[in-house]
Amino acid sequence: MPRKKKTEEINHDENELNLHTHISGAGDVVRQNITDTLEVNYMPYAMSVIMSRAIPEIDGFKPSHRKLLYTMYKMGLLTGGTIKSANIVGRTMQLNPHGDAAIYETMIRLARGNESLLHPYVESKGNFGKAYSKNMQYAASRYTEAKLAPIAAELFKDIDKDTVDFVPNYDNSMTEPTLFPVSFPSVLVNANMGIAVGMASNICSFNLGEICNATIELIRNPDADLLETVKGPDFIGGAQLLYDRKVMEEIYRTGRGSFKLRAKYNYDKANHCIDIYEIPATTTSEAIIDKIIELAKAGKVKEISDIRDETDKKGLKITIDVKRGTDPDKLMKKLFKSTPLEDSFGCNFNVLIAGTPRVLGIKELLSEWIAFRTECVNRRVYFELNKAKEKLHLLEALQKVLLDIDKAIKIIRATDEESAVIENLMIGFGIDRVQAEYVAEIRLRHLNREYILKRTADIQKLRDDIEDMEDILSSKSRVKKIIVSELKEVAAKYDKPRRTEIIYDYETDTDVEVEDIPDYPVNLFFTGEGYFKKITPQSLRMSSEQKVKEGDSVIQSIESSNNSDLLFFTNQCQVYKAKASDFADTKASALGSFVASDLGMDPDETAIYMVNTTDYKGYVLFFFENGKVAKVDLSSYATKNNRKKLIKAYSDKSPLVAIRHITEDCEIVMRSTNGRILLLNTGAISPKTTKDTQGVGVMTQKKNHRLSEVEDYTEGMFAKPARYRTRNLPAAGSVLGKDDEAEQLSLI
């Protein structure tokens, strides 16, 4: 037996030797330049990863996403109930033969239950894990179920109408789309991250409604300022976006940049604990808890007695028990600085455009999507046009047969051979082979006038439709209108309120001390030359006549309290913030404080308007000489820290005429140098959160004329106020009526 075994081993070695002798170059050591190795072996691999794996395309998907969703679409999962995820994964392997684990992980991230996407494409049933937790792992595919979400219908709309190219799958047994003909810019609506070879992609998500509106605006005006429409990134996990306009401008322009996200929290005073319920999309609850524990063990955070993860079916919740006497806000400021509770999101809008990776800003990316969608619409219309022409061609043959049904029957009966029927019908009715085949296939029971009349009734409608579709293909403006209408439909169906709150002014200093401000009623006065007085009611009752400089006058008089905030807008588009308590109580007989000097304003800068508030509610209206009006939320000027000066408080594109602070909408009189008057209801203007917005056109100005005066409207100011009102803006206004002219003269 041992000898036989040894003989078998020898024979095996001889076979191995013979095999190697038949392979050319096997076992040889060959010298090769490293550059040749990189070019021949490494570069194809790198290109494969970039082109076919890691970088999303203009439809917003990587190949793995596309293969999974298309499989679900072909399985009919847009309608009906959910089915086992394992079934979906198995079917997807017909397009994506990379193992069930990779496919299932792709489905997990697309599912609603995982909470990765702002608008999930997959409806899930079962445990799909959570994106914000490493420990909450998803269940196996045999336990979960899934189907396509309603919004997925927008991915496949008209996919069967030659809107996109199809290619064979890996074994040439079926075809799959190279792109989805998405009817909205999904590439910016859902977050997408990929790491390729030598490059990467990291696209944050934006609000669907804002992106659709921005795309519509860009179609109508290629020079549109998208910062006015797209307020900022929006994440399904919410949190707070610390807004820096310069950073956002850079991201919107170049597609690169980094912004900060901050967690949201509540303080439970009864239980002495802080509940964190929203965290940045870039981190997890475990990472936050681990870092806080590390700080506590190192003695850097002594205010915390316990921390635990209380996440349940209601959502994320990290609870921090704090010691008695702890200031929760001060503690959170420290944690924001030292833990992932405040984290950065690095943007890299790298997208494959026609097979080439390109880093694009939002405007460029939307322009590329518009070009892509334009091609889809053109291809869809061209497909429908050809179908309509084919149908019309057949119906025209029926119309000819209608003229003499008996003749058609006679031709068929008189033909000796079946193969000659088509030729005889062609000759008898002057139709082509396709038409003759169609007529010959009609059943005998259908060769009656009623049937043929019903079928040919649509001929004129088909001709009209064909003419309309040909007009669409020749008109770029009509194609744009189609895209705009589809975007409006998508926004109306699927838009949701913003999840991520935008914080325009935020505090970073952890050592801010809050002073106790004595609170009592005061009267505030502001003059045209920038002087300010704070007078108590008792002092004002003793002497109410205000002393001012020669030529100066009081332009604002407000009843308020000593702990209110003051915002002084200047002639250099800046605003200086102060507390009423920062100014000493004075008397009516004094000139008061010169605001420009007391607040350290720049040379030649002076205060022109004062806003007094305690809750930052209401709006600030800016009226410009070009007739535009900007309506800005007063909350846009609120700051949590002690910042005294805010730049770009309002637009400098046109000279300022007037400023008004209103707590609710009212009517305001606008006068132009050409003598026209417009009575504006401020409710007709949409508020903005961007402080230096240019505003909207309200009062159109003729050449060499400008808006010259703004005043509050009071009842009885005009005999016929309806004369100066208008339904549509902008408007030129109306000249002074005769009744009002007489009233003006009588007043003089």
Q: What is the pLDDT of residues 575-587, one digit of tens each?
A: 999 989 888 889 9
pLDDT of 12 higher than 60: no
Exposed / middle / buried, residue 588 (Cβ in 10 Å: 0-12, 13-18, 19+): middle
Same domain, 638 and 600: no
For residue 510, tell me if it sits in a domain.
no
Report the CATH number that the domain containing residue 663 is assigned in CATH. 2.120.10.90
Residue where a domain stops, chosen among 182, 205, 230: 182
Same domain, 81 and 137: yes
Same domain, 561 and 628: no
For residue 125, tell me if it sits in a domain.
yes
Same domain, 333 and 377: no
Q: What's the rounded Cα separation, in Å, for the pair 484 and 688?
A: 23
Q: What's the rounded Cα separation, in Å, for the pair 505 and 619?
A: 17
Same domain, 383 and 477: yes
Q: pLDDT (tens digit, 9 = 90+) per residue, 106-143? A: 999 999 999 999 999 999 999 999 999 988 899 999 99
User: Percent of the chain having pLDDT more than 70?
Assistant: 93
For residue 508, tell me if it sits in a domain.
no
For residue 636, tell me if it sits in a domain.
yes
For residue 391, tell me if it sits in a domain.
yes
pLDDT of 624 higher than 50: yes
Confidence at residue 584, expressed as pLDDT on a 0 to 100 scale: 86
CA 501 to centroid of chain Cα atoms: 13
Please identify which residue in the block is written with the tokens 């709309």. 157
For residue 24, tell me if it sits in a domain.
no
Same domain, 608 and 626: no
Same domain, 745 and 628: yes
Same domain, 431 and 550: no
Structure token digits, residue 707 = 């808006």
Report the CATH number that the domain containing residue 410 is assigned in CATH. 1.10.268.10
Position with higher pLDDT, 8 vs 664: 664
Residue where a domain stops, chosen among 614, 641, 668: 614
Same domain, 439 and 543: no
| Count of structural domains within the chain | 5
Contact of 376 with 158, CB cutoff 8 Å? yes
User: DSSP letters of 695-738?
Assistant: -EE-B---TT--EEEEEE--TTSSS-GGGG--SSSSB--EEPPH
Same domain, 275 and 392: no
For residue 25, tell me if it sits in a domain.
no
Q: What is the mean pLDDT of residues 647-672?
A: 93
Q: Domain span at residue 727? A: 622-748
pLDDT of 489 higher than 90: yes
The CA-atom distances, in angstroms, between 238 and each of 247, 263, 288, 336 are 20, 8, 16, 16
Q: pLDDT (tens digit, 9 = 90+) per residue, 218-264? A: 999 999 999 989 999 999 999 999 999 999 999 999 999 999 999 99
Position with higher pLDDT, 465 vs 410: 465
Residue where a domain stops, chosen among 573, 592, 614: 614
For residue 17, tell me if it sits in a domain.
no
Confidence at residue 736, expressed as pLDDT on a 0 to 100 scale: 85
What residues contact residue 671 under an 8 Å CB cut-off, 6+ apart?
677, 707, 708, 709, 710, 711
Report the CATH number that the domain containing residue 268 is assigned in CATH. 3.30.1360.40
Report the CATH number that the domain containing residue 62 is assigned in CATH. 3.90.199.10
pLDDT of 641 higher than 70: no
Is-cis flag, bond preceding 56, omega within 30? Answer: no
pLDDT of 281 higher than 90: yes
Q: What's the rounded Cα separation, in Å, for the pair 393 and 185?
A: 38
Contact of 624 with 656, CB cutoff 8 Å? yes
Q: What is the mean pLDDT of residues 373-400?
A: 92
Contact of 711 with 668, CB cutoff 8 Å? yes
Same domain, 595 and 637: no
Catalytic residues: 143
User: Percent of the chain having pLDDT more than 90?
Assistant: 62
Position with higher pLDDT, 97 vs 262: 262
Confidence at residue 508, expressed as pLDDT on a 0 to 100 scale: 55
3-state secondary structure at position 291: helix
Same domain, 155 and 87: yes
Q: What's the rounded Cα separation, in Å, for the pair 596 and 632?
A: 24
Q: What is the mean pLDDT of residues 689-716?
A: 91
